[in-house]
Amino acid sequence: MNKDWSGPLVDSIGDYAIFMLDPEGNIRSWNSGAERLGQHRRDEAIGRHLAALHPPEDVAAGKPGRLLSAAARDGRIEDEGWRVRKDGSRFWAGVLITAARDPGGRLIGFSIVIRDLGEHRLASEDLHRSEERFRRLVESVKDYAIFMLDPNGFIQTWNDGARRIKQYEASEAIGRHMSIFYPPADAAAGKPERLLARAVVDGRVEDEGWRVRKDGSRFWADVVITALRDSQGRLVGFAKVTRDLTERKQAEDERLRLAQAEEALRLRDEFLSIASHELKTPLTAMQLQMQAARRGLEGTPGHRLDRALRSAERLSQLIETLLDVSRIVSGHLSLKPETADLRDLAQEVVDRMTPSATHAGVPLSLSLNGPLPGRWDPLRMSQVLTNLVSNAIKYGQGSPVEVALRRVRGQARLEVMDGGPGIPPEDLERIFGRFERAVSARNYGGLGLGLYISRQIVEAHGGRIHAENRPDGGARFVVELPLLVAATSEAGELH
């Protein structure tokens, strides 16, 4: 026993096991602290190998020999781990092994200091358990892909969310580079590396864009990459959190598409309004000149000028129709209701249209039944009736056109009927839409707006309009109007 090493001082230190080994690892000294910690009495300990203090699995793995070799090589080594008492129980130990050399540098043994770290161990186990809980939490998150990258962007961990969003199993993803999630063009352009570089500089980086799943399909991702540093500020890797925002992106795209479509419609309607005003101006001058010229020919037949005037009038009506549409879509269709009998209005329209019906070889008849007083915009209601009658003349293929008015269940009911081919059932509702028609525009002229405008006018009067096919053939358009419409504005003569 070397008196230099087992003096009273060392002997009296109870909290530390302090002893000496020979170069082969056999115990050569043993202090009272060692007796207390290891439970071996001095005479039991001396001569035994250091391995007597290690758990069997460490001994089997050659740990004691490795520690000594490392200490011999490096001068000293620290270790923290399980050690075994004489009764087989274990304690968590902090171990310092220092190589002892003679002045010639020859290894003469090792000094060992062991401390029971019981309480430290509990604290570090708590930490370990807390880390473990956190790890399980992260692993079980399904809505977010959360994983770690090494400083070069290679995947180190994987969670359920990553598996769900990116479709790779942990075994397929770990060890691969993050660029596998990027569309080839982005990967080729160095986007993944750029993001990492920015995270290194700024601490974190956020990106929204397309990413690629294992099966090659794309998803719209929100990605946050955070640089991870150790206590000395050295980059140890990155934490990457990815959310799949594809559904939100699709909803946003859809909203955007709708907004663009609405804007396009608005622009079209605005254009319609401006264009019709612009068209009206030269037409006004033209009609004035033609009317003046026709007036100069008072008493002569003037057929050509009359035709030209009629054409100008038709042009004027078409422009008015376009203006009506722009008024309707911009909500500016206003009524000027007056108290009138619908029969008078119908009579006026039928009288006015009889010449053109006769010209087309179409018998036009009107049947009236009882008074139908109400408040309507006379110009607008005439417009509806004119539209229905001219449609009947146009599409009825020469069959008689009948206009009938009567009171039904407290409402005015106006019917315009023809004996033509009728309307395909699937078109009965569609024809009231904008720019819709039941027949091809090639065969019949017109803008396809008449019924649309008629429906708007009728509904603005609080009424309804629909089309049906008569059991005995032909089409029937039915307008139902309340007999008393509240006045929305007063109309009157100014002079």
Partner 1 sequence: MRQVLVIEDDEEIRESLVETLHDNGHPAVGAANGKAGLELLARADLPCLILLDLMMPVMDGHEFRAAQLKNPQLASVPVVVLSAHRDLDNEARKLGASAWMQKPLKLDELLEAVKRYCVD
Query: In the complex, which residues of this chain contact partner 1 (CB under 8 A)?
Result: 277, 280-285, 287-289, 291-292, 295-296, 312, 316, 323, 327, 334, 336, 489, 491-492, 494-495
- Nearest to partner 1 of 325, 362 (CB atom): 325
What is the C-alpha end-to-end distance of the chain, expressed in Å?
137
In the complex, the smallest distance separating the C-beta of residue 347 from partner 1, rounded to whole angstroms, is 22
Closer CB to partner 1, residue 123 or residue 288? Answer: 288
Largest Cα–Cα separation, the chain: 153
79 and 67 Cβ atoms separated by less than 8 Å = yes
- Which of 188, 293 has the CB closer to partner 1? 293
Residue 8, helix vs strand vs coil? helix
In terms of CB distance, is 98 or 287 closer to partner 1? 287
Residue 77, CB half-sphere, CA atoms under 13 Å: how many? 16
C-beta closer to partner 1: residue 272 or 404: 272
Q: Can you tell me the distance from the alpha carbon of 166 to that of 185, in angstroms, rounded to the nearest whole number? A: 18
Instruction: Write down the least CB distance from residue 246 to partner 1, Å.
Output: 49
Least distance to partner 1, CB of residue 464, Å = 24
CB of 291 to partner 1, least distance (A): 4
156 vs 330 by CB, closer to partner 1: 330
User: Measured from the CB of residue 332, what is the shortest distance to partner 1 in angstroms?
Assistant: 8
Query: Least separation, in Å, of the C-beta of 315 and partner 1?
Result: 9
- How does DSSP assign 195-210, residue by residue? HHHHHHHHSEEEEEEE
Determine the Cα–Cα distance for residues 145 and 161; give it in Å rounded to an integer. 4
* CB of residue 284 to partner 1, shortest distance in Å: 4
Least distance in angstroms from the C-beta of 358 to partner 1: 25
Instruction: Please give the Cα distance from 457 to 463 (Å, whole number).
Output: 9
Q: What is the CA radius of gyration of the chain?
A: 49
Q: Given the complex with partner 1, which of 2 and 289 has the nearer CB atom?
A: 289
Residue 488 Cβ vs partner 1, minimum distance, rounded to whole Å: 12
CA–CA separation, 268 and 251 (whole Å):
25
Spacing of C-alpha 83 from chain mean position: 59
Q: Is 80 helix (H, G, I), strand (E, B) or coil?
A: strand
Strand partners of residue 403? 366, 416
Which 8-state DSSP code applies to residue 335? -
Nearer to partner 1, 290 or 404 (CB): 290
CB of 384 vs partner 1, minimal distance in Å: 16
216: nearest Cα among 146, 166, 173: 166
User: Residue 465 to residues 267, 298, 414: CA-CA distances in angstroms?
Assistant: 29, 44, 9
Cβ proximity of 326 and 276 under 8 Å: yes
In angstroms, the CA 419 to CA 438 distance is: 16
Q: Residue 276 Cβ, how far from partner 1 at the closest point, in Å?
A: 9
**Number of separate helices (H) and strands (E) present in the chain:** 15, 15
Using the minimum distance from each CB to partner 1, give the nearer residue, 150 or 338: 338
Which CB, 283 or 368, lies closer to partner 1?
Answer: 283
| Angle (deg, nearest 10), helices 303-329 and 450-460 | 60
How many CB atoms sit inside 10 A of residue 149's CB?
22
Q: Which residue has the tokens 């035709």?
A: 307
Which lies closer to partner 1 via its Cβ, residue 211 or residue 461?
461
Q: Cα separation of 36 and 250, whole Å?
A: 71
- The C-alpha atoms of residue 203 and residue 144 are separated, in whole angstroms, by 20
